Structure formats: C-alpha cells, structure tokens
Amino acid sequence: MTHPLGNPPTKIVAVHLNYPSRARERGRVPAQPSYFLKPPSSLAGTKEAIVRPAGCELLGFEGEIALVIGSRAQRVAPEDGWSYVRWVTAANDAGVYDLRYADRGSNLRSKGADGFTPLGPRLLDARTVDPDALRLRTWVNGEVVQDDTTDTLLFPFGQLVADLSRLVTLEPGDVVLTGTPAGASVVRPGDLVEVEVTAGELSTGRLRNPIADGDPLAPYGAMPKADPAEREAAYGSAYEPEPLLAPRLAEGLRSVAVATLSAQLRSRGLPHMSIDGVGPVSGDAMVGVAHTLRYLPLREDLFKRYGTGMNAQKRAIEELRPGHVLVMDARRDPTAGTLGDILALRAHRRGAAGVVTDGAVRDSAAIARLGLPVYAAGSHPSVLGRRHVPWDTGVPIACGGALVQPGDLIVGDADGVVVVPPDMADELVADCREQERQERFIAEQVAAGESVDGLYPLGQAWRDAYENWCKGETQ
C-alpha cells in the first residue's frame, strides 16, 4: 500500500496499553507507556485482506486511532505534542498470537507481517479535532465489538508524542498507533473487520478488511504454536478457557476434609502426600491444580542474573491461570520471604486458587486481607535475595517434603495441605465421602455413650446398624 501521505513512514510505533477498559481486561495498569515497532511494509489500505498464515489459529484484531506525524518532533514538551500531529485515521493493529513466543517483546513476526497494519480510508485534519473527544468503534461481521472514547486515556496523545521524542526523532509521515480498547479478540478467514474514528460529525469512514487464509509458512524458522495462555491473551474477555479442574471434581474435593484425604492416600500406600510444616495464612479451604516454582540456595554471583527483572518468581505469577495453585519449593527455609502482598494480589487477579510455600511470606497481614488462600511455613520481613534464588517454573519440586508435579491436585484446609494424584481423584472423593459418613455414624454412637471398641474403625458387629442408619440419612 502507498502511505496515506504518499510516501512510506520511517517507522510505525504502537502503544501496548492506553485504554482503561483494556487495562482492566489485562489485569494491570502501566505507570508509563511502553511501545513496540511495526515495519512500514506491514501497511495496508481499506478493503485489502488481512491474511492469516496457514497453521495459525489466533489472528487478533485491534481497532486503534492512528496519528500521522506532520513535522519533525525531537524532545518536545507534552503540552506541545499534539501540535506535531497532522492527521488522524483509523487503524487495525492485527497480529497472530501463535508467533508471539518467537519474538517475545518485539512482536516482529507476530505483528509485523505484510498487511498487518491497515489504515484509512480517510484522514482527519488534526487541527480541526479535539484529541480528547474522539470516538473509536470496531465491528466484526457487522456487530459492534469495540466502542470507546479518548477522554479517559491513560496517556493522552500529546504525552505519547513527547515521550517518544525524548529519545526517538519522529519524522513527518511516521505513524503512532495509540492503543486498543476492550473487546479486541480473534477473527477467522471469512470474517470482516471494520474500524471507524469519529470526531463529532467528522468521520474517517469505515476501514474494511476481510480475513483470508494464507499459505503455510516455510519450515526454516519458528512455526506457529498456541497454548492456553496465548489463547487467553488473544481472545481477551471473550475467551472462556476450559477449566483446569472439572467443576464436579473440584466440588467433590472441596466437600471432604484434608485429614480424610490423607487417610485414604495412606491406605493406598501413599503416606507422604502431605505438605508438612505449612499452615493457612489467609483465605478459606483451597482446591486447585499445581503450578510450580523452584528456589535454589542464594549465590550472590548468580542473583543478578536469575533473581532480578522478570525472574522465575514473577514469571510463575504471570503464568497462573484461573484454578492454579502456585506451589513453591523454598527448601523448607522459613527465614526468608517468598511472596509479598503485591505478588499475592497479582496471583489473586490472575484467578489463582491459592498459594503454598514451604518458606515464609512477608506482608502477611495484607495477604490475609486479600481472601486468597495462602499456606506458608511462617512469616518473615525479608525481601527476595536473603536466602533464595528463584530458578525455574513448571518443573517437579519438593514442597514440605512432598513431591509435587505440575498438574497435581492440591487441597488445603485448616489441617494443612495434601497432594492428590489426578488419576485417582474421583475414586478418592467417593471413598472419602464413605469414610466421613461412617465417622458421622460413629460419632453419634460415641456421643450416646458407646465404647469405641469394635466401633472405631467400624467393625462387623456394627455393620447392620450402620446400614440401617444410612437408610435414614438418605430419606
């Protein structure tokens, strides 16, 4: 496509998050804007097809307002930033999430493919519009899926221009994509995406782009792949992933006591399934699927490499899906914190079912107020780096003396936490319910003055009485 001004831009800069509605979908509000680049070769016009490469399933659309720079901007002030914008138009910041892993952070191949930045069809003169009074709408197959305005942006347009110009000179014709509101999701071949920007009576018209099938990618590079986390990111609020744990099984595990589960596991030759030395810090009973994090002993020369930035501890939090229990191997050392209130809050926002650590937590009072089930070996005021280095995630670990594999079921209550092998969970629930029913019968007899001899555990002499009692309980 020819650039709307007749010449291709030197760069296309895209903002990650700018609309509060989108930030709520993502579960985070950035303190400052962040950006990525799209190549000028990704530009397209209205009615041009956006081609989804064969093998990709997660082609996302993002209706956006595009700013076209009119004059050279270098170290300009925020209050002057808007004056450097010449045109406003509609854009679709398309991308395939199946390739995000290949260029994590840069988005080069996932967002930069030919035709992945349609603009148009008309340009609005920036001098005639109020940047805080624009409306953006997106339709998929004629249905409105995005509708938002620019009066509540996290980062106003003038601030974006000024921020970029501190270090990057913006040249005439450069394009700034200013973020997408809530509602961005996935489209498929045969769909039609339309984007329009309006300023009162003024309109860019609808940018119309059909979605088409493409050819397979040549096999000499990263190939498409999709996992649950990418599907969740691609679909946004419209995506409802399959639950990690079937609701019926989750309710069954929640209905029985950890002590009963422990007894039933022991009767099956599994006496070491309890996570020893941990107790509840906050929240109610816990049932979920294990996602693991392993710490190793502190080595000062390795801490900067493994302990800072987006380390394994933070990655583990961001990898959580609804229903996960984050289980930490902190080497049974309660003299250093492994979780604080900020990361606990993030785990809660990610939908975690709980957290278990055989180390300590800090900010325990704040964590207790969250309502997130957290089990720990104690509390300690230290920050990360006193005893541990966060090393890796999603691997088998030892927590409180128990072997925990990713995907194991984790159940906790006031008595503690046990690990349940998924393949025997249904059978365990049934046997636990029977054991607890027997124990209710036995408790009634003991309360009535009976001896526990032959009664606890239930002996043959009491079997008929128990069966008659069961008939009455079910009526």
What is the pLDDT at residue 41?
Answer: 94
- Does residue 307 carry a pLDDT above 80? yes
Q: Which of 101-110, 116-125, 228-237, 287-296 has the lowest mean pLDDT?
A: 228-237
| pLDDT tens-place string over residues 246-258 | 999 999 999 999 9
Q: How far apart are CA 439 and CA 434, in angstroms?
A: 9
Find all residues with CB under 8 Å of 473, minimum gap 6, and list them. Answer: 437
CB 259 within 8 A of CB 415: yes
| pLDDT tens-place string over residues 65-120 | 999 999 999 999 999 999 999 999 999 999 999 988 888 778 899 999 999 999 99
What is the pLDDT at residue 235?
Answer: 80
CB 325 within 8 A of CB 288: yes
CB count, 10 Å around CB of 249? 17
Nearest C-alpha neighbor of 142 from the set 73, 103, 91, 193:
193
Which sign, positive or negative, has the C-alpha torsion 18, 21, 26, 27? positive
**Structural domains of the chain, ranges and CATH numbers in brackets:** 12-238 (3.90.850.10), 247-420 (3.50.30.40), 427-474 (no CATH)
Residue with tokens 């009963």: 260
3-state SS record for 132-199: CCCEEEEEECCEEEEEEEHHHCCCCHHHHHHHHHCCCCECCCCEEECCCCCCCCEECCCCEEEEEEEE
Q: How far apart are CA 256 and CA 166, in angstroms?
A: 60
Exposure pattern of 296-319 as b/e (b: 16+ CB <10 Å)? beeeeeebeebbeeebbbbebbeb
Strands 402-404 and 397-399: antiparallel
